[in-house]
Amino acid sequence: MDTSRMTAGQIQMYYNKQRHQQEKDQKENSQEQVRQRQQTNNGSPNQLRDILKSDFYKTVDTTLQNNRKKEHIQRNLNQTIDNLSNDKLDNFARQFDDDKI
């Protein structure tokens, strides 16, 4: 804009208006960046609730629970087998051989 025909007060007002607009734009940009970072870092709370209600979550949860049960059973079975007498261990092994027939 040509400021040669303006008075000193008009020039000052013109530059103040430009400075104010630039500050406003910078503030809006910084707020938008903060919003984008929050969405990227946190996601929305609704997305988390949706995941918790999904079939995928239920399947994973069930699988993990079953794996924990299997590990517990396996540990107890190993301890039980380790503590069996020779005769009882032979009887136990024969039960698996009989199942094949």
20 shares its domain with 60:
no
35 shares its domain with 56:
no
Is pTM beyond 0.75? Reply is no
- How many domains does the chain contain in total? 2
56 shares its domain with 92:
yes
53 shares its domain with 37:
no
Nearest residue to 2 via CA among 13, 14, 18, 17: 14
60 shares its domain with 89:
yes
Domain boundaries, position 79 = 47-101
Query: pLDDT 10s per residue in the chain (101 long)?
Result: 777 888 888 889 999 999 999 999 999 999 998 887 776 665 566 777 788 888 999 999 999 999 999 999 999 998 998 898 999 988 888 888 766 54
39 shares its domain with 52:
no
User: Do 14 and 1 contact (CB within 8 A), yes or no?
Assistant: yes
53 shares its domain with 18:
no
83 shares its domain with 97:
yes
Residue 98's identity, in one-letter code, is: D
DSSP 6: S
Residue 14's identity, in one-letter code, is: Y
93 shares its domain with 55:
yes
User: Do 14 and 4 contact (CB within 8 A), yes or no?
Assistant: no
